[in-house]
Chain A
Amino acid sequence: MKIHDKITPDGTRDILFEQCEAKRSIERRLARFFRHRGFDEVMTPGLEFYDVFYSNAAYFPQETMYKLTDSKGRLMVMRPDCTIPIARLMGTRLAGLEKPVRLYYDQNVYRSNPSMKGFSNEITQTGVELIGAGSIKADLEILELAANGLTHCSIENYRLEICHIGYFKQLMNNLEADDTEKEKIRELIESKNYAALGDVLKSYPESEAVTALAKLPEMFGGCDVIDQAAKLFPNGKKVLDELRSVYESLQALGLGEKVIVDLGLVNQAEYYTGIIFRGYVDGVGEPVLSGGRYDKLMQDFGQALPATGFAVNVNQLSRVLLEKGDTVPPKTQILLFSEKQCDPLVFARMKELVEQGIRCEYSLFDTLEQTKAYAKSKGIPTVEVL
């Protein structure tokens, strides 16, 4: 039998020293920021019943979830997402809370990715949910929170893409096609596969919706994209006006440079219902944050409530922070040595130093010589002898 006692499972890793420092720093800054903006923390179990995610199976393909059974043989999963457990909470213990409810979380999610492609299967997500508010005002709050959250993590070079999934949904409603075909079209739009999309849409009778769908992958950029979309499909005016007003508000908030409109952002189209967005940072090949409005989810758990939120991929952000090189693990300043086996003076001195916020270490060596050699090799500047 092969014994795997020297390695970690695919897609997981040990996080060490300055990596921990960077990761904790991101988590701390985001949590502090969210807390100061009126969000309260919740923690949900790392294990949930499969059924919780099954009602949303379409968004959580079962092959991406880690599964186990409990002592009664019931199927459980390692939490693959933080929003759905919160929806469960809202349908149960938090049902009576005054709305809107502002929650944040900082916990790991587990997703089984195809192996050896360089993706993590254990990701720390720090995120927020704003539940019970369906207005543009709420969308804007969440978007601003996302943008400012990145700034709080000392990340300046980012881009936020926004979309209103309603436009795509309306176009699809105007298309006479079965679900399989619609899913195929959605995938082609999501992957910006202009050529194949054009070929598929050729087989449909010409209409405003078909023309607009064919253009969807290239509809990303500034406000002009919204104008173009409105021209192609005037019935979409209402959702586009919402998107425009969000875009303009973000500009008014000084975030104009950072925001890009992408009407071809159609991932998880069944789940989302309104304004959706993703954040990108230079040097990271995948979105570092993503979120949006999901007004239908809560009713699966018994209480129909509008909601919006986003999650930050902490692992990726901490990598960026680490590469910037401004996180260093704390260094020990003072090494304390005493010849006695138990010297109350040493412990008193350490207490004093800790209170002053100075990092110290207790020398376990028998001689001062050994202690000095250790200090030298560890780069500890001062040895105090008591």
Chain B
Amino acid sequence: MKPLRIALTKGRLEEKTVAMLESIGYDCSQIRNKGRKLVLCIPEKNIEVVLAKSADVITYVENGVCDLGIVGKDTIMEMGKSFYEVLDLGFGRCRFALAVPKGTNFYEGYHSRTIATKYPNVARSYFESKMDIEVVKIEGSVELAPILGLADAIVDIVETGTTLKENGLEIAEEIAQVSARVIVNIASLKLRKKEIENLIDDMRRAIKEN
């Protein structure tokens, strides 16, 4: 039987996922000592873990080269959704917010508004039913854009709000809650139902216990 392949978002979600899996007795030593390897095994469970950037996790799962993926809701909202989103892992929590320079009202006046963001699709779909906006995609620190006068507001991930405060911004509206999710390829769930359900049940148990 070929192994169940999981695409795991590198970095913070990776650490938390490993801790969760270890708490229910999965041997993640290979992931902990990965070196430069990108494909790793969880022995005795017939599971293969692939480490990838968040957006790639979605691409791999959508195309079926990975059966499951662990990825933030932020990336899911930005990238689309032809897969099953079966479990909220509860960690990696933060939120999408619209932030404006402190003391300003985003909706005041009739001038056209520009929003700077790393997540153009999220920003666009949030405003789709509200008003037309101009979206500017920024790759690095989005907080800069209003300071430099490029944008009236930003749409970004907010964890504690410290970065916003330090750059003279404040949250005007909360857009969505974000946390790590388990996604499953549509065909895989049908073809390998038992294995995938067992794994998800294990994860569910791990969340409950912690």
Contacts and interface: CB of A to CB of B under 8 A. Distances in A.
Interface of A: 114, 117-118, 159, 161, 191-196, 217, 220-221, 260, 262, 280-287
B145 to A, nearest CB: 25
Interface residues of B, number: 24
B85 A191 contact: yes
Interface in B163-190: 184-190
B64 interface: yes
B105 interface: no
23 contacts: A117-B59, A117-B80, A118-B62, A191-B81, A191-B83, A191-B85, A192-B85, A192-B184, A192-B189, A193-B84, A195-B88, A196-B88, A217-B86, A220-B190, A220-B193, A260-B190, A262-B190, A281-B187, A282-B191, A283-B64, A285-B61, A285-B64, A286-B187
Given A285-B62, A286-B187, A260 B85 contact: no
A310 to B, nearest CB: 16
A195 B182 CA distance: 11
Contact of A285 (B85, B86, B185): B185
Given A192-B85, A260-B193, A285 B65 contact: yes
A280 B190 contact: yes
Contacts of B193: 220-221, 260
Given A285-B63, A285-B185, A285-B186, A280 B191 contact: yes
Interface of B: 59, 61-65, 80-88, 184-191, 193
Nearest to A180: B129
Contacts of A217: 84, 86
A142 B26 CA distance: 44
Contacts of B185: 285
Nearest to B83: A191
Given A193-B85, A220-B193, A280-B186, 13 more contacts: A117-B63, A117-B80, A191-B81, A194-B86, A220-B190, A260-B193, A284-B64, A285-B61, A285-B64, A285-B185, A285-B187, A286-B82, A286-B187
A340 to B, nearest CB: 56
A86 B190 CA distance: 31
A191 B63 contact: no
Most buried by A among B80, B85, B187: B187
A10 to B, nearest CB: 15
Given A117-B62, A192-B85, A193-B85, A285 B191 contact: no
B114 to A, nearest CB: 23
A286 B186 CA distance: 7
B191 to A, nearest CB: 5
A283 to B, nearest CB: 8
B59 A287 contact: no
B198 to A, nearest CB: 14
B92 to A, nearest CB: 14
B87 A195 contact: yes
Contacts of B84: 191-193, 217
Q: Which 5 A-B pairs have the closest CB atoms?
A: A285-B64, A192-B84, A195-B88, A280-B187, A193-B85
